[in-house]
Amino acid sequence: MEEYTIKNTTFVMSAVSSSAVPEEFAMEIAMVGRSNVRKSSLLNSLCNNFKLAKVSQAPGKTRHINYFLVNDEFYLVDLPGYGFAKTSKKEKERWSVLLEDYLSSGRVKHIFLLLDIRHEPTVEDKQMYQWIIYYGIPFTIVATKADKLAFTKRQNAANMVAKSLGAPPYALAYSSETQTGRETLLKRIGAIIGDTVQKCTKDIDSE
């Protein structure tokens, strides 16, 4: 499997609702995870542009659906973080509606579900996983902050996080600090794009 090469990434827009989104592309990959799981850092690391997505020390800053166009080929979508304790009940409800509307829209072809490699999945993580399963969206579990563990312990810890979630016991260990896992994740993107193109070709041929 060849590594996918990201040549350019452009910020497109921030959507405040699932209806106020850009024109649909054939490919849309979304990233989701609880607040402070380092989604924005992973996005910047993956695209090799550390000014692309705003990274804040305070959790809960991503409150909209942020669209990034990669290689003029597909959207990489940064979804709002969930589970931030200091968020008001009204805001949590708004985020919940925003996320569920997006997941049920049929736009997203694959989801990267980000979990902290050091901790058991939260109730919100498990709810998000159940939503992904319910809507039948293909997914990859990415265990972030891998640099916080010794190299020899990372993969086992990543797998245990996935198992604790109730998913198949495998997750990709990733560190935005050291770029650990970047090559593997880029290969995964390449495979996702290839599968989508193949499916679209079969759909066209069957018409």
Predicted confidence band of residue 95 (pLDDT cuts 50, 70, 90): confident
| Joined tokens for residue 124 | 């919100």
Q: State pTM to two decimals.
A: 0.89
Let me know if residue 167 belongs to a domain: yes
pLDDT tens-digit map of 1-14:
677 999 999 999 98
The count of domains in the chain is 1
CATH code for the domain of 73: 3.40.50.300
Let me know if residue 3 belongs to a domain: no
- What distance in Å separates the CA atoms of residue 142 and residue 21, rounded to the nearest whole number? 25
Contact 112/142 with Cβ under 8 angstroms?
Answer: yes
Let me know if residue 155 belongs to a domain: yes
Let me know if residue 163 belongs to a domain: yes
Contact 111/141 with Cβ under 8 angstroms?
Answer: no
Pairwise pLDDT comparison (126 vs 93), residue with the higher score: 126
Let me know if residue 1 belongs to a domain: no
pLDDT tens-digit map of 126-179:
999 999 999 999 999 999 999 999 999 999 999 999 999 999 999 999 999 999
Let me know if residue 175 belongs to a domain: yes
Region 183-205: mean pLDDT is 78
Average pLDDT over the chain, rounded to whole? 87
DSSP 36-64: TS-HHHHHHHHHT-TTSS---SSS----S
Region 19-30: mean pLDDT is 84
Predicted confidence band of residue 59 (pLDDT cuts 50, 70, 90): very low
Let me know if residue 33 belongs to a domain: yes
**Domain ranges, residue 74:** 9-202
Let me know if residue 60 belongs to a domain: yes
